[in-house]
Amino acid sequence: MLTDKRQKNGRRVVIMYLQNIFEPAKIDNLIQLAIQEDIFTGDITTENLIPENLIVEGAFIAKENGIIAGLPVVEYFFLKRDKNVFFKQWVKDGIFVHKGETIATIHGSAKILLSGERIALNFLQRLSGIATLTAQFVERVKPSKASVLDTRKTIPGWRYLEKYAVTVGGGVNHRMGLYDQVLIKDNHLDIMKNKLSYDLPSHVSIIEKAVSILRQTINKGVLIEVETRTPEEIKNALKSGVDIILFDNMSIQQLNTAVRMVNEWNYSEGVRRPLTEASGNINLESVHLVAQTGVDRISIGAITHSAKALDISLEISR
């Protein structure tokens, strides 16, 4: 993913060339679930107080500074409720806004706006919060070339949207699920080593065995990543020829050693150095130190599971 940052009318604009452009159809089920749990048989307050034909206009206002994500979601949601709603974005996803700034306006049935307000804001606030936190991490790793990645630590049903918000904030998506990339974790290795019987030569590690099995069974081109905890496991991962080596919960000193091992490994001709990735208990205070070790990727579960929703309101003006 590429990013282009520039000034426009005094505003810092972050233009994202996303890995995955927003695809509305992917959230149809999520929208239906939101409607079912919130509106269900109807908004009894609005239906009994507001006339059927009343048309109003509302404005989405930022109540704090941050990066906006989820405006296409809000527009898609309201248009599914009423095709006559007119939604205008005053900013685009990926733009930094200031407290008090109008993000978007909406014109349509008062009943539709009032009954859909909370659902729309839930989408917009959470996704903007994820984008904002991601951007903070991305800023902290500069001037290194390390990429900030998300994880699978997402709310069930929200993964597509949350990973979309990560890209809006300047991050990069890790695997979408268990189906699109191999990640051999410590539990896989421990089970293979302790519960399965493999007649391995003394010079072959359980990591090498796992990678060998996968190379013979998975589709060509699927990346193989292995989680490592010790220098010995890193060495075995290098011998196995994996695509990515994950350094799990390592100190800065251990990360420096790990990156140096990968960089100084004696690779055979035509064999590329694997990408390196750090993960585990990385926060805004420590991420710049992790980036300085020279890792290629930093995966951070907090950018989705611990992101604070950005405060945004819908104010009916007339």
Q: Which residues are catalytic?
A: 118, 153, 185, 227, 248
* Residues contacting residue 177 through CB under 8 Å, at least 6 positions apart: 152, 159
Token pair recorded at residue 138 = 């991305």
Integer Cα distance of 294 and 276 in angstroms: 9
Count the alpha carbons within 13 Å of 144 in the hemisphere toward its beta carbon.
20
First to last CA, the chain: 41
Q: Are 135 and 151 in contact (CB under 8 A)?
A: no
Tell me the three-class secondary structure of 20-78, residue by residue.
CCCCHHHHHHHHHHHHHHHCCCCCHHHHHHCCCCCEEEEEEEECCCEECCCHHHHHHHH
Q: Are 234 and 245 in contact (CB under 8 A)?
A: yes
